[in-house]
């Protein structure tokens, strides 16, 4: 998977926020798996993945959920950031 920047984290957390709370952890883990798969696809075929884009976490998040970024940030967003960070920590050795 590509390097994760602040906007990747932001878009992933906003996408996770759109999912019902009981399914958020699995969705967050799935975003990372999709970003990793897209990154491998891009590196092998030298073109964007048709569903998940360029292999970034941001592209996978935007493809999987249409989060309304203009919506006010509610308290659950902090927990969503935490879930995404936990998912990243669990998958850190991937692709190295």
In a domain, 95, yes or no: no
Domain membership of residue 61 as a residue range: 6-90
In a domain, 40, yes or no: yes
In a domain, 41, yes or no: yes
In a domain, 22, yes or no: yes
In a domain, 1, yes or no: no
Say how far residue 4 (Cα) sits from the centre of its chain. Answer: 9
Neighbours of 29 (CB within 10 A): 17
Please write the tens of the pLDDT for every residue from 73-86.
678 899 999 999 99
87: CB partners within 8 A, 6+ apart: 25, 28, 29, 31, 32
For the chain, the domain total comes to 1
The pLDDT of residue 93:
62
What is the pTM for the complete model shown? Answer: 0.86
In a domain, 59, yes or no: yes
In a domain, 67, yes or no: yes
In a domain, 96, yes or no: no
Please write the tens of the pLDDT for every residue from 1-52.
789 999 999 999 999 999 999 999 999 999 999 999 999 999 999 999 999 9
């Amino acid at each position: 998977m590509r390097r994760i920047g602040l906007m990747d984290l932001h878009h992933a957390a906003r996408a996770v926020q759109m999912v019902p709370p009981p399914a958020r952890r699995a969705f967050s883990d799935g975003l990372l798996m999709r970003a990793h798969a897209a990154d491998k696809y891009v590196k092998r075929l030298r073109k964007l993945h048709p569903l998940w884009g360029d292999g970034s976490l941001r592209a996978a998040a935007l493809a999987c959920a249409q989060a309304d970024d203009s919506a006010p940030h509610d308290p659950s967003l902090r927990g969503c950031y935490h879930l995404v960070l936990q998912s990243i920590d669990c998958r850190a050795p991937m692709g190295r």
